[in-house]
Amino acid sequence: MPKSPFIRVLLLIGTLLSAIRVAAATPVIDVEIKNHLFIPSEIIIPENTKVKLVIHNRDETDEEFESYELNREKVIIGNRKGVIFVGPLPAGEYPFFGEFFPKTAQGKVIVK
């Protein structure tokens, strides 16, 4: 049965809305801190998109996620996790580090 233009428009709007809903569901990326290292140490995220980083600190000690480039700073308590929202960002590399153990705790967010 041929669809009327009205129904077609409705369907189109519906498809668009669901596409937006999918886009609006913030992607979640899990990161671990283990022996004062970030695993993975490189996090790849899409351009112009907000993502939710869930950082699981597997060490006994607290760590502070810090990045001047990302404008983010947060203490992640030992044996617990913390949530940090990052982006939307233009393409590029954004280094971050663990402020409490910066010698080893280094990583970067790569936006492409």
Partner 1 sequence: MLLNSVIIVLREVLEAALIFSILLALSKQSQIHRTWIIWSLLIGMFGAVVYGINIPLVSEWFDGVGQEVVNALMQYTVYIMLLFYIIILLLYASKPAAGARKLLVIMMVLITSIAMIREGAEILLYFFSVTRSVNHYAAVMMGMIIGASIGISIGFLFYYLLMNIREKWSMIFGLGLLILVSSGMISQATLLMIQADWLPAQMPLWNTSDFLSEKSVLGQLLYALVGYEATPTALQASMYLGGLILPVFIIVLLKLKLKLKFKG
Give the amino acid at 16: L
Nearest to 98 by CA among 10, 36, 31: 36
Of 46, 50, 91, 93, which lies in the binding site for partner 1, with binding defined by CB under 8 A? 50
77 binds partner 1 (CB under 8 A): yes
The answer to whether the bond into 46 is cis (omega within 30° of 0) is no
Separation between Cα atoms, residue 55 and residue 29, nearest integer Å:
8
Is the Cβ–Cβ distance between 102 and 80 less than 8 Å? no
Residue 5 or 60: which CB sits closer to partner 1?
Answer: 60
| Contact residue for partner 1 among 11, 83, 91, 110 (CB under 8 A) | 83
Q: Which stretch binds partner 1 (CB under 8 A): 6-14, 17-25, 37-45, 67-75?
A: 67-75
The yes or no reply on residue 64 touching partner 1 (CB under 8 A) is yes
- Tokens describing residue 19: 């596409």
User: What residue ranges bind partner 1 (CB under 8 A)?
Assistant: 26, 36, 48, 50, 52, 54, 59-64, 68-69, 71-72, 74-75, 77-78, 80-85, 87-90, 99-103
